[in-house]
């Protein structure tokens, strides 16, 4: 009878037995990776390499970072490639869950192990003395690189600081760890100097305070002081202004720009706010579903965007909206990174979707020597499609809004 007919299986449902099989398989994979990583006396030939372009500070080359969970494998970063020139600021832009933070954590080798693993590709880091492939670098080498050569400002300053230790003790600890020849007096003097450098007037008083006694903007300044205390070669900013109001946000951005000019460090700036990128970045990489979909100079990506996802992000800027009109939003949600994506990952949300988008993944098309986009719309055989009207004449609007 029809009432006894079996229901069609939900594609997103897995049974307990399937979960156990996936968990067993993934634990075997991570055990093998951890065994290889935890070897003693790893030869330098495995992690010392050369830059493709010596003018770059970092080169991401086909990087894949996965999370092996009990219900499947999450391909958070799935073939990311881009360059970070020395002394420049590169902005990484995208929605929440697209792989921005995992990309930066892969550079610092801070992805939560053993579940999180960079399984393929190279991340070449130029320390000035040697070039390291961070993917294969042993923990002992990474401990020397973190802090001294690369550092990170995290998204929420209150969770970055320890609530039970005073501000001075937390900065002192970082400086003392990486400068073991310094005396306590020298460490404290360096900490006071860093507090002054990030614009804290009452530096002696703040040195003795706890994090909860400071405002959000002051806490973020403390985190910046910790990140820059050992004068790293590259600073990774993971949405450092998200939890701050607009006025304080502008102050923090200006502080980072001023410190970059003074210390000549390279910056990777991660954000979902294109307005922030317009103010601070030299180059922009737009990321979606764990892949770079467009990359170029800030002027190229803002004034001549080529990927429909970049069009959608720019159209969503409130600064471009006109009075008494509805704000633009991107329909749908990003795809699940558990599943294998067929065709273009943005196709289900793309109003300009072509039939080929649902069948084949597009290659990265070259627009100029510095501008690339991953969309079939750039194929010579594709129909001519104009970008949305709201960003058709975007130059004057962006100059007025962001002064770029």
pLDDT tens per residue, range 106-121: 999 999 999 999 999 9
Output the average pLDDT for the chain: 90
Is residue 11 very low, low, confident or very high in pLDDT (cuts 50, 70, 90)? low
Distance CA 353, CA 366 (A): 20
Is residue 323 pLDDT above 90, yes or no? no
Return the pLDDT at 5. 53
Question: Mean pLDDT lowest for which of 44-48, 108-112, 122-126, 269-273?
Answer: 269-273
Q: What are phi and psi of 224, to 5 degrees?
A: -65, -40
pLDDT digits (tens, 9 = 90+) for 252-306: 889 999 999 998 999 999 998 888 888 889 999 999 999 999 999 999 998 899 9
Task: Decide: 82 and 90 in contact? Cβ < 8 Å.
Answer: yes
> Tokens 């609007």 correspond to what residue?
397
Beta strands 372-373 and 56-69, pairing class: unpaired
pLDDT(384) > 80:
yes
pLDDT attached to residue 146: 92
Q: How many CB atoms lie within 10 A of CB 372?
A: 23
171-180 LR contacts (CB < 8 Å, sep 24+): 171/195, 171/222, 171/225, 171/226, 171/229, 174/147, 174/226, 174/229, 174/230, 175/229, 175/230, 177/147, 178/147, 178/148, 178/229, 178/230, 179/230
Please give the radius of gyration of the chain, using alpha carbons only, rounded to the nearest integer: 23
Report the 10 Å Cβ neighbour count for 171: 23
Q: What is the 3-state secondary structure (H, E, C) of 205-263?
A: HHHCCCHHHCCHHHHHHHHHHHHHCCCCCEEEEECCCCCCCHHHHHHHHHHHHHHHHHH
Sheet containing 266-271: order of strands: 150-153, 234-238, 266-271, 89-93, 283-288, 291-297, 372-373, 365-366
**Highest-pLDDT range among 124-128, 388-392, 399-403:** 124-128
According to the model, what pLDDT value does residue 279 have? 83
Mean pLDDT of 191-211: 93
Q: Which two tokens stand for residue 338?
A: 């558990």
Range of lowest pLDDT (126-130, 321-325, 327-331):
321-325
pLDDT band for position 391 (50/70/90)?
A: confident
Percentage of residues of the chain with pLDDT beyond 90: 68
**What phi and psi, each to the nearest 5 degrees, are found at residue 154?**
-90, 170
Q: Which two tokens stand for residue 111?
A: 């992805």
Looking at residue 12, its pLDDT comes to 65
- Measured distance CA(309)–CA(161) in Å, rounded: 35
Question: Rounded to an integer, what distance in angstroms lies between the CA atom of residue 312 and that of residue 281?
Answer: 20
CA distances from 239 to 120, 194, 215, 336 (A): 26, 21, 18, 23
Res 403: pLDDT: 61
pLDDT of residue 404: 57
Q: Summarize the confidence of residues 190-211 as an average pLDDT.
A: 93
Percent helix, strand and coil across the chain, each to the nearest 5: 40, 20, 40
Torsion angle (degrees, nearest 10) of CA 108, 114, 119, 125: 20
Whether 320 and 401 have beta carbons less than 8 Å apart is answered as yes
Q: Is the pLDDT of residue 243 over 80?
A: no
Please determine, for residue 193, whether its predicted confidence score (pLDDT) is greater than 90.
Answer: yes
Cβ atoms of 282 and 88 closer than 8 Å: yes
DSSP alpha helix (H) spans, 87-166: 100-108, 139-145, 157-160
Give the burial string for 220-245 (b: 16+ CB within 10 Å, else e). Answer: bbbbbbbbbbbebbbbbbbbbbebbe
Share of the chain above pLDDT 70, in %: 95
Q: The pTM is what?
A: 0.89
pLDDT tens digits, 333-379: 889 898 889 999 999 999 999 999 999 999 999 999 999 999 999 99
Supply the pLDDT for residue 9.
54
Please tell me the predicted confidence (pLDDT) of residue 340.
86
User: Residue 146 has what DSSP assignment?
Assistant: B
What is the rounded CA–CA span in Å between residue 105 and residue 403? 31
| Average of per-residue pLDDT across 51-67 | 96
- Residues of 276-305 as b/e, b for ≥16 C-beta within 10 angstroms? bbbbbbebbbbbbbbbbbbbbbbbbbbbbb
């Amino acid at each position: 009878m029809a009432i006894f007919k079996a229901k069609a299986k939900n594609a997103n449902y897995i049974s307990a037995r399937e979960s156990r099989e996936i968990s067993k398989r993934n634990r075997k994979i991570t055990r093998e990776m951890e065994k290889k990583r935890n070897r003693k006396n790893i030869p330098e030939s495995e992690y010392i390499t050369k830059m493709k372009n010596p003018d770059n500070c970092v080169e991401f080359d086909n990087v894949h970072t996965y999370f092996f969970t009990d219900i499947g494998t999450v391909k958070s970063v799935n073939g990311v490639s881009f360059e970070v020139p020395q002394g420049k600021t590169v902005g990484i832009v995208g929605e929440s869950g697209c792989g921005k933070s995992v990309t930066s954590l892969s550079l610092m080798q801070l992805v939560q192990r053993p579940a999180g693993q960079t399984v393929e590709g190279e991340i070449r880091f130029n320390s000035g003395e040697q070039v390291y492939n961070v993917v294969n670098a042993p923990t002992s080498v990474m401990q020397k690189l973190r802090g001294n050569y690369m550092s990170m400002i995290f998204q929420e300053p209150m969770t970055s600081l320890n609530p039970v230790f005073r501000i001075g003790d937390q900065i002192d600890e970082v400086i003392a760890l990486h400068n073991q020849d310094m005396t306590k007096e020298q460490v404290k003097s360096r900490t006071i100097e860093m507090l002054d450098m990030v614009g804290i007037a009452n530096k002696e008083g703040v040195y003795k305070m706890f994090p909860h006694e400071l405002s959000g903007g002051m806490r973020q300044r403390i985190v910046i002081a910790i990140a820059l205390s050992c004068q790293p070669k590259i600073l990774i900013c993971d949405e450092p202004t998200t939890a701050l109001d607009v006025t304080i946000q502008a102050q923090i951005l200006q502080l980072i720009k001023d410190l970059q000019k003074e210390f000549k460090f390279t910056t990777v700036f991660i954000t979902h706010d294109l307005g922030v990128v317009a103010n601070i970045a030299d180059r922009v990489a737009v990321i979606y579903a764990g892949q770079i979909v467009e990359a170029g100079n800030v002027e190229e990506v803002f004034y001549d965007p080529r990927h429909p996802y970049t069009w959608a992000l720019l159209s969503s800027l409130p600064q471009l909206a006109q009075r008494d009109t509805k704000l633009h939003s991107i329909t749908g949600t990003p795809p699940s990174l558990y599943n294998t994506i067929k065709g273009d990952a943005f196709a289900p949300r793309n109003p300009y979707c072509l039939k080929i988008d649902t069948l084949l993944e597009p290659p990265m098309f070259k627009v100029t020597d510095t501008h690339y986009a991953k969309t079939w719309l750039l194929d010579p055989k594709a129909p001519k499609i104009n970008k949305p009207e709201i960003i058709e004449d975007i130059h004057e609007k962006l100059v007025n809004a962001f002064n770029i």
